[in-house]
Amino acid sequence: MKKVYKVGCSIENLRGIRDFIRNALKPYGVRELDISEMVLAMDEMCSNLMIHAHQCNPDDLFELSVNLDKRKGVVFEIVDDKSVFDINAFQEPALDHIVHEKRKGGLGIRLVKAIMDEIEYYQQNGKTICRLTKKVQFI
């Protein structure tokens, strides 16, 4: 089962993304805790894309899909025509450094990596695709 959502790069559209994910996963018996974690991770990924790659331009669109796979778990794909920031290549600052500097932000990537089991990037047909996978049990 694959569901696709096309969305404009306005922060106001994040609620729609969260609703899309919840509505896609609830009917398949995914635990509420797993759903909440995935909503949080994907909210972070999509907001970063909107802000940093598209400067919150609502006319710029990207595609978010969710696919439930009994073997792999829940597989999300973010498909965009901009160059997407590869969080796997990002060197995370130490937590004590973030706390000491009282930085606002800086924990989102760490959070996504902690929640999702696999994150990969690749190019296809001129698009950048970020695939994020979380192993879950289906009821």
The pLDDT-based confidence of 97 (bands split at 50, 70, 90) is: low
How far is 77 from 95, CA to CA, in rounded Å?
A: 28
pLDDT at 22: 98
Side chain identity at residue 72, one-letter code: K
Convert the pLDDT of each residue in 16-30 to its tens digit. Answer: 999 999 999 999 999
The domains located in the chain, with CATH, are 2-134 (3.30.565.10)
| Model confidence, pTM | 0.86
Tell whether the model's pLDDT for residue 78 goes beyond 90: yes
Share of the chain above pLDDT 90, in %: 69
Spacing of C-alpha 93 from chain mean position: 20
Q: Give the pLDDT mean for 98-119.
A: 75
To the nearest 10°, report the CA torsion of 56, 59, 60, 66: 90
DSSP collapsed to 3 states, the chain: CEEEEEEECCHHHHHHHHHHHHHHHHHHCCCHHHHHHHHHHHHHHHHHHHHHHCCCCCCCEEEEEEEEECCCEEEEEEEECCCCCCHHHCCCCCHHHHHHHCCCCCCHHHHHHHHCCEEEEEEECCEEEEEEEECCCCC
How far is 30 from 58, CA to CA, in rounded Å?
A: 31
